[in-house]
């Protein structure tokens, strides 16, 4: 005969044993799936991070970045622009678009020709005369396209166009001696 309060104990132990066994079996199955799963290979950035943290030794060919950094940069998408041709002086009797010893206003200087062309179109649409682009080589910096306006006898004659550029188009300009 079972004493008072002990009649459910065999079922309790049996249920506890079955549940524990079930949990153990599930744990074993989960562990086997994780251990034998096909993990994806780490991506290139993860490999670089692991190498930088000292987890993976660097390969000899991975250390070629110094050669790449020290070589001149060439963008494969853009072709090299043609070198500007030097401007040949006009003969004394020939006509030139800019008179000798004249002044002009330099409005901007761009590295790209299309930017200079866009500004020239904008200036011509605004009614400025003698708008031109002068290509020049700056030592150590490359080719620049300088947008210039006017053909003035002196700086005082250019003052009204300088004020108009600043007021209407919000462009600052420089007085330049344009002719030689």
What CATH number did the domain enclosing 148 receive? 3.30.70.1070
Give the HSE-up count for residue 53: Cα atoms under 13 Å, Cβ half-sphere: 7
Q: Give the number of domains in the chain.
A: 1
Distance in angstroms (rounded) separating the CA atoms of residues 72 and 129: 41
Confidence band, pLDDT 50/70/90 cuts, at residue 90:
very low
Query: Residue 32 has what pLDDT?
Result: 77
62 within a domain of the structure (yes/no): no
94: helix, strand or coil: coil
Residue 127: inside a domain: yes
Please check whether residue 70 lies inside any domain of the structure. no
Strands 132-138 and 142-152: antiparallel
Q: How confident is residue 96, by pLDDT bands cut at 50, 70 and 90?
A: very low
**Which of 38-52, 105-119, 151-165 has the highest mean predicted lDDT (pLDDT)?**
105-119
Residue 133 lies in a domain: yes
Within a domain: residue 153? yes
pLDDT digits (tens, 9 = 90+) for 98-123: 556 688 889 999 999 999 999 999 99
- Picking from 106, 176, 110, 118, the residue whose alpha carbon sits closest to that of residue 142 is 110
**Mean pLDDT calculated for residue range 68-97:** 55
Asked if residue 83 belongs to a domain, the reply is no
Are 146 and 104 in contact by the 8 Å Cβ rule? The answer is no
165-172 average pLDDT score: 86
Q: What pLDDT sits at residue 112?
A: 92
Share of the chain above pLDDT 90, in %: 20
Residue 145 has pLDDT above 50, yes or no: yes
Q: How far does Cα 36 stand from its chain's mean position? A: 44
165 and 118 in contact (C-beta within 8 Å)? no
E strand spans, the chain:
103-110, 132-138, 142-152, 174-177
Domain hosting 133: range is 103-177
Q: Examine residue 111 and state whether it is found in any structural domain, yes or no.
A: yes
pLDDT at 147: 92
| Token code pair at residue 175 | 């007085």
The pTM is what? Answer: 0.44
């Amino acid at each position: 005969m079972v004493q008072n309060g002990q009649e459910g104990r065999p079922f309790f132990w049996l249920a506890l044993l079955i549940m524990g066994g079930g949990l153990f079996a599930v744990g074993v199955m989960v562990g086997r799936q994780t251990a034998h799963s096909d993990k994806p290979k780490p991506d290139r950035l993860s490999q670089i991070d692991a190498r930088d943290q000292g987890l993976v030794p660097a390969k000899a060919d991975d250390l070629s970045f110094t050669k790449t950094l020290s070589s001149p940069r060439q963008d494969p998408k853009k072709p090299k622009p043609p070198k500007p041709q030097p401007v040949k002086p006009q003969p004394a009797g020939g006509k030139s678009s800019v008179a000798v010893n004249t002044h002009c206003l330099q409005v901007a200087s761009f590295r790209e020709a299309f930017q200079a062309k866009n500004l020239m179109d904008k200036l011509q649409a605004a009614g400025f005369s003698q708008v031109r682009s002068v290509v020049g080589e700056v030592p150590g910096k490359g080719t620049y396209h300088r947008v210039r306006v006017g053909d003035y006898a002196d700086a005082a004659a250019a003052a009204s166009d300088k004020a108009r550029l600043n007021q209407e188009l919000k462009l600052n300009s420089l007085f330049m001696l344009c002719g030689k």
